Amino acid sequence: MAELHFFTGTMDSGKSTLALQTNHNHAARGREGRIFTAHDRAGVATLSSRLGLTHEAIEVPEGFDFWTYVVRSLTAGGRIDYIICDEAQFYAADQIDQLAKIVDELQIDVFAFGILTDFRTRLFPGSARLVELADRMNVLQVEALCWCGKRATHNARTEDGAMVTEGEVVVVGDVDAHELDTSEVDVAYEVLCRQHHRRRLTAARARAVSLAAEPLPFG
């Protein structure tokens, strides 16, 4: 029986690498698949991992209908045995419903990969719907680490080096500021443990604090 799988973890936990490996394993057994992604750091219609691996993919824009795409492909004589969905946190809830329908009605396996929460520590709509519908939910065992060495559980966004907890949800990291069209603000992402996310203590800020001159023992 086909199943809807959801693989999740923080940034740096190897989700995209596993998505590429999953595709390779199935393709090596003669299965035909489709790869989808949204807002990948490497650009449009590309699935990339931080290890430097990339693969062509189908971009998922707002309003994209998975059910219509798959039915049309099959009607035209195409073959689809499985679907890989990277950056699934960016999909709309109704798109996740469409993926579940593909699994149930067409018996096509769907493997979705994404992070659970945004930089505000709130669930992405796509991830929330996957938690509700997935047949299997897998938390990746490769643990990303906070700068302090503890297990990272939260994704943080920095702007010009300062951590922020408000702003647009979808702003792609790992790219230059001029590519983001954010008025030349330098946007980056970092994984932190809960304690340091609450304190807004990023690696750069921690270094600055440790290098700050200690007050004189009098005054």
Known catalytic residues are 87
Phi, psi of 110 (to 5 degrees): -125, 130
Q: How far is CA 121 from CA 154, 155, 165, in A?
A: 7, 7, 9
Query: Which residue's structure tokens are 């492909």?
Result: 73
- Put the strands of the sheet holding 82-85 in their side by side order: 58-59, 33-37, 82-85, 109-114, 4-8, 136-139
Alpha-carbon span 105 to 159, nearest angstrom? 45
Longest C-alpha distance within the chain, in Å?
83
* 114 beta partners: 8
Q: How many CB atoms lie within 10 A of CB 30?
A: 7
